[in-house]
Homo-oligomer: A and B are copies of this chain.
């Protein structure tokens, strides 16, 4: 149907006849000479219909003059050098003089124009028009190349690409399951997998040794900008493995794909940090290392001062008083500081103490701060020295529980980094390790798993774990890149007795464990090997590589934050008869369970 791609017509074809297929990106009639920018997936080439020369040109000009935006065309013509070279396109040195123009499909007037900045809703409704834009094509191709590169790496190293079921068993642990009524089993339901976690562990017990899958996962959670109802992860599992072997393999893989896909060379060895260190220095388990700012713990310095918020938390067993120096922050206006305080408040701050260092040589007189009066000279001086504060800096203080102070000061750090232009233009990966095994849920008065309930503790002995549950460390690890957790994994529990002990500590009783995870406990009894793995968020990595904030830009048919597909109109009402076939009814409002 065509001899060449539009975007690949070049000087080597000058004098030749080509047939091209594509869309009219732009069409202009300049007094008898028509220009069409013909676009396909490879790019754009200029087509000219002009009156001079060969026979039949009247037809060609007539056809060309009627071409509108996005008409689908097939054009035959001769390639010639262009008088005025267009450097902005790859084909800019040539043009095609049309001898035949076929309209394969006329386009109706467009709901939005590719070159204007249309709203996301209309772009999602007419997704096929939006995806034709070269920017979108490029972002999608980044994702496609990422997946291709990952697969090649893993195939070459003997990982087996194995499919696991989408219609599986509900396991109400973690996020909400999507449910699918079973027609052949009245009153029963399948669930869509939140991840292939248990299946990949079972595969290791089934002797597959090295597994991977580009796996679709489903979580029925409220949608945020960076979440979708369904998402894609690179899911991996290794038998007979230690955490370091998993980490080294995937670190090497990630380095390779960044090189192959976007020509970026990541660190030859990723820095490593324990969870405790990450929280202490950055107030986050996924620190953005592009921002150099670090916390300074000042509880020891302020524990006897006159500022009650500081002394309360400095003397509290689980308290933290943390200072964060913001280089250049002394220029913040009162309004800006109020905005920063509001930002910290969103992350749990009850207030935000601050100090501007207007002149570091003048001691107390060089300081502008509502709290300076509560600090004696020695304390003030100690704080300034501890934070390495200089003229022009600001210092922000958080005082609360360890967790809360870390959280809101960590969030403040990110905002300060952006606001002050202190985010390095770089790629900063790291490993975070040694996560706590459990977190104590005050409300439920029980432990919850920080990773998931199948993560192995660092101790091998159940009695040891039970005795030290509150401080137990897991064999989990996260790969973090520029403040994003792009991968997370762990060594798994491979003995039935340890798995039972962990379920028990998590308040999952014997009966409940049997009902939900019976097949796992059983499988662990038949010679399960030591195993571990990791999963990477493909949507997020693709978005990072494509340089976009929104994962919707790298998902061909995403849903809105309202969980809808604006193009197809999903979800939609279903006729009663069809619901009856699968034995369900829409629940009447009055029959809601509270």
Q: Is A570 an interface residue (CB 8 A)?
A: yes
Instruction: Tell me if B184 and A563 are in contact (CB < 8 A).
Output: yes
Nearest CB in chain B: distance from A233 CB, A: 12
Q: How far is the CA of A130 from the CA of B523 in the complex (A)?
A: 12
Query: Which residues of chain B have C-beta atoms less than 8 A from A132's C-beta?
Result: 206-207
- Interface size counted on chain A using CB atoms at 8 A: 127
Contact pick for A178, options B167, B172, B206, B207, CB 8 Å: B167
Nearest CB in chain B: distance from A454 CB, A: 15
Instruction: Tell me if A584 and B581 are in contact (CB < 8 A).
Output: no
Instruction: Tell me if A155 and B148 are in contact (CB < 8 A).
Output: yes
Q: How far is the CA of A567 from the CA of B592 in the complex (A)?
A: 33
Contact with B along A166-179 (1 / 0, CB 8 A): 11111010001111
Mark out the residues of chain A between 540 and 570 whose CB falls within 8 Å of any chain B CB in the assembled complex: 555-557, 559, 562-565, 567-570
Instruction: Tell me if A169 and B128 are in contact (CB < 8 A).
Output: no
Which of A39, A199, A567, A580 has the most B CB atoms < 10 Å from its CB?
A567
Tell me the A residues contacting B by CB distance below 8 Å. Answer: 1-2, 21, 23-24, 39-41, 70-72, 74, 104-108, 110, 126-132, 137, 140-141, 144, 147-148, 151, 155, 160-170, 172, 176-192, 198-199, 202-203, 205-209, 216, 218, 220, 229-230, 232, 239-242, 245, 494-495, 518-519, 522-530, 555-557, 559, 562-565, 567-587, 591-593
In the complex with contacts A182-B571, A208-B131, A165-B1 CB distance below 8 A: no
Q: How far is the CA of A183 from the CA of B357 in the complex (A)?
A: 52
The 15 sampled A-B contact pairs (Cβ below 8 Å) are A39-B207, A71-B527, A104-B529, A107-B525, A108-B525, A126-B523, A128-B202, A131-B206, A166-B216, A167-B570, A168-B570, A178-B190, A180-B180, A186-B586, A584-B584
Query: Which residues of chain B have C-beta atoms less than 8 A from A176's C-beta?
Result: 183, 578, 581
Instruction: Tell me if A128 and B206 are in contact (CB < 8 A).
Output: yes
Instruction: Tell me if B169 and A570 are in contact (CB < 8 A).
Output: yes
Task: Identify 4 new A-B residue pairs, CB closer than 8 A, beyond the known A110-B526, A188-B572, A202-B557.
Answer: A1-B240, A41-B207, A106-B527, A189-B571
